[in-house]
């Protein structure tokens, strides 16, 4: 794992933290532990930290499994940032990407017993904002915000 240097503000609270993780399932725990520590350093509530933990675990697991398909030559990039709005998390994979609109709604009656699509529902439930983008260079970028 390669961790980029932190940027500090005047109070020595980290403003951003970036992780470059291999595409293996152990990266999920590593990303979640870093997100929790970062959120605690910002003084977020236990409820917010719990929501962030679940969203980070889901998004990184999706990046490893569905995005990069466990290909350890492809990394998962995680950026944690304090913004004026709250705590922002960006997770990027380098797979072929997908369209969120193509994922069936797991709350529709016909999809209730299907296993796919729940991660998106979870992330949207735990975080205040969730957006997806297809960045230059390929892959998929998930950007999530937990307001203070």
Q: 125-140 pLDDT, tens per residue?
A: 999 999 999 999 899 9
Segment 49-55 shows an average pLDDT of: 97
Give how far the C-alpha of residue 70 lies from the chain's centroid of Cα atoms, to the nearest Å. Answer: 17
pLDDT tens, 29-44? 999 999 999 999 999 9
Domain range enclosing 44: 2-147
Q: Is the pLDDT of residue 4 over 60?
A: no
The count of structural domains within the chain is 1
Residues in the chain: 148
If one compares 67 and 101, the residue with the highest pLDDT of the two is 67
d(CA 37, CA 45): 12
77 and 58 Cβ atoms separated by less than 8 Å: no
Confidence band of 110 (pLDDT split at 50, 70, 90): confident
CATH number at residue 90: 3.30.565.10
Q: Is the pLDDT of residue 111 over 60?
A: no
Q: Count of CB atoms within 10 A of residue 3's CB? A: 12
d(CA 147, CA 53): 14
- Percentage of residues of the chain with pLDDT beyond 90: 66
Q: For 56, which DSSP code?
A: H
Confidence band of 107 (pLDDT split at 50, 70, 90): low
State residue 104's pLDDT score: 60
27 and 21 Cβ atoms separated by less than 8 Å: yes
31 and 78 Cβ atoms separated by less than 8 Å: yes
If one compares 1 and 110, the residue with the highest pLDDT of the two is 110
Tokens, residue 116: 């796919």
Tokens, residue 69: 């398909």
Query: What pTM was estimated for this model as a whole?
Result: 0.83
């Amino acid at each position: 794992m390669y961790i980029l240097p932190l940027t500090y503000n005047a109070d020595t609270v980290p403003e951003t933290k970036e992780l470059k993780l291999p595409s293996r399932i152990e990266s999920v725990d590593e990303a979640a532990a870093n997100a929790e520590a970062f959120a605690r350093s910002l003084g977020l509530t236990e409820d917010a930290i719990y929501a962030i933990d679940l969203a980070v675990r889901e998004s990184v697991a999706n990046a490893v499994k569905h995005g990069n398909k466990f290909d350890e030559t492809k990394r998962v990039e995680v950026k944690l940032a304090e913004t004026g709005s709250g705590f922002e998390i960006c997770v990027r994979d380098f797979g072929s990407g997908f369209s969120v609109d193509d994922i069936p709604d797991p709350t529709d009656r016909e999809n209730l017993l299907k296993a796919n699509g729940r991660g998106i529902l979870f992330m949207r439930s735990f975080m205040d904002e969730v957006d997806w983008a297809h960045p230059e260079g390929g892959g998929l970028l998930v950007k999530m915000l937990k307001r203070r």
